[in-house]
Chain A
């Protein structure tokens, strides 16, 4: 059996996902980072973007994360985000509408948020 690490994906107001994984890929401000079991202790600032978790059962969990942190120590990885949602929770159609609206209003924050959601949903498929 491959080595495992415990992942906790928490948003400000709820716990989004937790379980065992073999690989976690996230984007920090200085680039993509992949964390496997036994990685050295790490604390980084996340960019908004999709986070990919390869679970120990061989599945893949993709989540859209808007800002936050990644911290890893003792084979426990925590992903903290103000807003985080799993790809399957994302309503693609609605997000597309949101993206259109954000573009029309020139609301860059909303546009970025919708974009991250769409990318996460696309990565999960």
Chain B
């Protein structure tokens, strides 16, 4: 076998092995997307009821709460960025990071100091590499987040927003995550969690003509709001974590699918080249034999004379 042909054969073998791996990863990601989506769906009733309750207290009473009132001159803001622990997901992480950077820039233009809170090893690595300050970070659960994880993330954020700004607290809380629109579309979005815009929340949950009843609060509207808002933040963060996980798996699936397709194409091209090399080798051998035979024939014809 010729040297060139051997090189082609070897490359085909290695690309085939790679293709098998990416195909397996694609299939794993596909099954995880479905699982993650199911979790998003399972968490929806709680989030919905909670949002309804928050709207009810917020609009049904005149209570003022630090988590719903806007400060006149916000000077510090916290940005929570959700990325994944592992890569191989196309532009998933860079999109989320880019969205966070844009938001940070915008907030800084408005004269606010920004604290970065990061979930996921990828985001942490990005910030560490640029030697930027991270207020707090969490890693290790981005593939399958649980409610306990969401609580863990929410606790310092709620604490920071409840603290006075002068003592290192923050006035605003923003979250950047990747919204799962469909299997094919995931978009990095940023939204302000706190202070709560009640009108906005109300618009999202209410049907047009629904009038919220006048609730009787037990023990009191303030206490209910006090207990309700942290849970609301937790549930929003939980939802964002789940959506982010689903998006990550969808992005991985897509990235691995194109890797598999590419490998297939490469195998095709390589086997064509290998065939051509083999054919060229055969042609050369034939022409060598023919050439040798005719030279021999010429020589014997000469000696006959």
Name A's B-contacting residues (CB within 8 A): 8, 10-15, 28-30, 33, 40-45, 68-71, 73-74, 78, 80, 82
Contact = CB atoms under 8 A, between A and B. Distances in A.
A114 B223 CA distance: 26
Contacts, number: 87
Given A43-B53, A43-B57, A13 B217 contact: no
B224 interface: yes
B228 interface: yes
Nearest to A40: B216
B103 to A, nearest CB: 27
Contacts of A78: 49, 53
Contacts of B215: 41-43, 71, 73
B53 A82 contact: no
B216 A10 contact: no
B196 to A, nearest CB: 16
Query: Main SS of the interface on chain B?
Result: helix
A70 B228 CA distance: 11
24 contacts: A12-B46, A12-B235, A12-B238, A13-B39, A13-B42, A14-B42, A14-B43, A29-B218, A29-B219, A30-B218, A33-B218, A41-B213, A41-B215, A41-B216, A43-B57, A45-B228, A69-B50, A69-B227, A69-B228, A69-B231, A73-B215, A78-B53, A80-B46, A80-B50
Contacts of B43: 12-14
A44 B234 CA distance: 19
A73 B206 CA distance: 14
A82 B214 CA distance: 25
Contacts of B217: 42-44
